[in-house]
Amino acid sequence: MPTPSLIDGYRKFREKYKSDHEVFDRLADEGQDPKVMWIGCSDSRVVPELITGAEPGELFDLRNIANVVPPATSAACATGAAIEYAVIHLGVDHIVVCGHTECGGIAALAAEPDPDVQPHITSWLDLARPAREQALASGVAEEDLYLETIKTNVLIQFDNLRTYPCVAGGERSGTLTIHGWLYDLHTGTIKAYHPESKEWVSIARHSRRAE
């Protein structure tokens, strides 16, 4: 069995399941109808439902190393399948691509992985490598390069998402909006990219509760 803490957590969940059974019954009987697809990193510290307060049924989650969207022409089709399912079948209104500080996948771009030892990591990180190349070309200071690469990686996924006809079509028709977010592990805050100003601004700024 896994660790005792997971079993304890499961016992607590069973209590919640019983007390909130109407919610879980509805989800089981009526199916899922999430409005948001979440594309985030697999990092265990960046838990979408924890940092957004989303309940079961609210987020269609896709997590992989460094929150990467392979272009539609890529042989890596797991991510594309999830995108097509979310957009075409579930009809989500929003796709959030959320990067985070201290991302190990992005840090790994600074080194060349050994393809003989970790062939899948090597291939996967090649998909994120343009982010480092763009960050390097931006002329940003050395101490800012890591964070700049993390941010650039989020924005590159916008372009990659638009290689999927269902995403491009959804944006054109106004039924789908793509958002770029950045979660800061040190402060627990989320910033969103604003294309007009090219700035990252706290998502709480426009909410009723100021951060």
Of the ranges 99-107, 115-123, 149-157, 175-183, which one interacts with Zn ion (CB under 5 A)? 99-107
Active site residues: 41, 43, 45, 100, 103
Q: How many residues does the chain have?
A: 211
Count of residues engaged in binding Zn ion, rule: CB under 5 A: 4
User: Least distance to Zn ion from the beta carbon of 135, Å?
Assistant: 16
Residues 32, 60: contact at Cβ < 8 Å?
A: yes
**Closest-CA residue to 53 (of 176, 188, 185):** 188
- For Zn ion, the binding residue among 69, 83, 103, 161 (CB under 5 A) is 103
**Closest-CA residue to 128 (of 69, 172, 84, 182):** 69
43 is a site residue for Zn ion (CB under 5 A): yes
192 is a site residue for Zn ion (CB under 5 A): no
Q: 43 or 148, CB closer to Zn ion?
A: 43
- For Zn ion, the binding residue among 41, 69, 150, 190 (CB under 5 A) is 41
128 is a site residue for Zn ion (CB under 5 A): no
Dist. CA 179–CA 95, nearest whole Å? 6
Q: Determine which helix (DSSP H) or strand (DSSP E) holds 61, and give its type and residue range.
A: strand 59-64
**Closest-CA residue to 194 (of 182, 208, 209):** 182
Summarize as ranges the residues that interact with Zn ion (CB under 5 A): 41, 43, 103, 105
